[in-house]
């Protein structure tokens, strides 16, 4: 009789364990990873101080130092914008409206969302492949013209830490007249918190004159200047080639300077020149 009771208890325990394990989801299925912030892909080129209306009206004031800094940032904004504008729009659409669904076949989390860009409708398809210490992200974008699907292509991919404290992206583009997509920008990002971090764009287009050139935007928690851009270009011009340009400013007071070619040339709260000094 005791054997029967013991056997019954063992069977009951086994049935319970089977039921529990059958309902248990894997770590991948249980929760989707958090998508990195939009500012890990999109650089804030508008953060540099701008003139107020009263300051702009003072045409006698010399603001050439600030203007050179603005020109440098503006050049990179235009150069990089052609490669980042569509990926950034797709990424923001996913962050704002996407809902994760687990794909048990491919073992990835997937976000799909439609978005409008340049009067056309597109579909962003972001997937996340989980590994032991990081997440690999891939963005494919499907382009539609009217109701006809034109193409589905991989526009960028990257890896991020689960903590979202750092990672990288590779952006792709399709050169005019080419059937193949090629890499164009490498993005490296770091994030301590919502107010402190950095994002760096590096040109990786093979054969491009500015291959290896970069611009970096960052925010820091200490010092007189809490914002900065650092840029280095590649050019046949020896005065520009491979020389670092650093732009730093205080986001509250607007006071800042540009450091280039051995000189520190600043501006005051009205963006008016401050005398240059040797670095």
Average pLDDT for 120-139: 95
pTM of the model: 0.85
The residue that leads in pLDDT, 267 or 28, is 267
The answer to which of 153-157, 179-183, 233-237, 268-272 has the lowest mean pLDDT is: 233-237
Grade residue 7 by pLDDT with cuts at 50, 70 and 90.
very low
Q: Judge whether 256 and 249 are in contact, CB under 8 Å.
A: yes
Q: Judge whether 151 and 142 are in contact, CB under 8 Å.
A: yes
Cα–Cα distances (Å) from 24 to 6, 21, 44, 119, 146, in that order, read 27, 5, 43, 46, 44
- What confidence tens digit (pLDDT) does each residue in 57-95 have? 455 579 999 999 999 999 999 999 999 999 999 999 999
pLDDT, residue 21, reads 44
The residues spanned by each domain of the chain are 35-278
- Provide the 3-class DSSP secondary structure of residue 121: strand
Per-residue pLDDT for 145 more than 90? no
Q: Where are the alpha helices (DSSP H) in the chain?
A: 2-23, 27-30, 53-57, 64-97
pLDDT, residue 138, reads 98
Of 14-18, 98-102, 232-236, highest mean pLDDT: 98-102
Per-residue pLDDT for 132 more than 60? yes
Give the dihedral sign, CA 227/233/238/242.
positive
The residue that leads in pLDDT, 3 or 186, is 186
Of 1-15, 52-66, 108-122, 126-140, highest mean pLDDT: 126-140
Per-residue pLDDT for 12 more than 90? no
pLDDT, residue 119, reads 66
pLDDT, residue 86, reads 95
Instruction: Give the angle 146-152-156 at the CA atoms, nearest 5°.
Output: 125
| Cα 158 to Cα 187: distance, rounded to the nearest angstrom | 9
Per-residue pLDDT for 129 more than 90? yes
Q: Quick one: what percent of the chain has pLDDT higher than 70? A: 82
pLDDT, residue 113, reads 97
Mean pLDDT of the chain: 86
Per-residue pLDDT for 6 more than 60? no
Average pLDDT for 3-25: 40
The residue that leads in pLDDT, 150 or 138, is 138
pLDDT, residue 198, reads 98
pLDDT, residue 30, reads 65
- What confidence tens digit (pLDDT) does each residue in 222-233 have? 999 999 999 998
pLDDT, residue 120, reads 79
Per-residue pLDDT for 5 more than 70? no
């Amino acid at each position: 009789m005791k054997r029967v009771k013991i056997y019954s208890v063992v069977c009951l325990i086994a049935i319970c364990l089977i039921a529990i394990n059958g309902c248990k989801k894997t770590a991948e299925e249980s929760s989707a990873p958090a998508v990195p912030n939009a500012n890990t892909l999109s650089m804030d080129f508008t953060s540099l101080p701008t003139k107020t209306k009263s300051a702009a009206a003072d045409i006698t004031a010399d603001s050439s130092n600030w203007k050179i800094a603005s020109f440098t940032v503006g050049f990179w904004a235009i150069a990089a914008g052609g490669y980042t504008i569509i990926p950034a729009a797709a990424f923001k659409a996913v962050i704002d409206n996407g809902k994760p669904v687990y794909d048990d076949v491919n073992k990835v989390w997937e976000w799909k969302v439609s978005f409008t860009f340049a009067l056309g409708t597109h579909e962003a398809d972001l997937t996340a492949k989980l590994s032991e210490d990081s997440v690999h992200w891939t963005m494919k974008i499907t382009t539609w013209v009217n109701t006809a699907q034109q193409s589905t292509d991989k526009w960028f991919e990257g890896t991020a830490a689960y903590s979202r404290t750092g990672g990288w992206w590779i952006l792709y583009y399709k050169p005019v007249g080419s059937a193949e997509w090629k890499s164009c920008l490498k993005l490296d990002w770091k994030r301590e918190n919502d107010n402190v971090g950095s994002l760096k764009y590096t040109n990786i287009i093979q054969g491009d004159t500015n291959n290896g050139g970069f611009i970096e935007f960052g925010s820091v928690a200490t010092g007189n200047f809490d914002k900065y851009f650092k840029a280095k270009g590649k050019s046949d011009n020896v005065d520009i080639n491979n020389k670092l340009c650093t732009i730093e400013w205080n986001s509250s007071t607007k006071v800042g300077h540009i450091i280039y070619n051995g000189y520190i040339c600043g501006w005051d709260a009205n963006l008016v020149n401050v005398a240059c000094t040797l670095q």
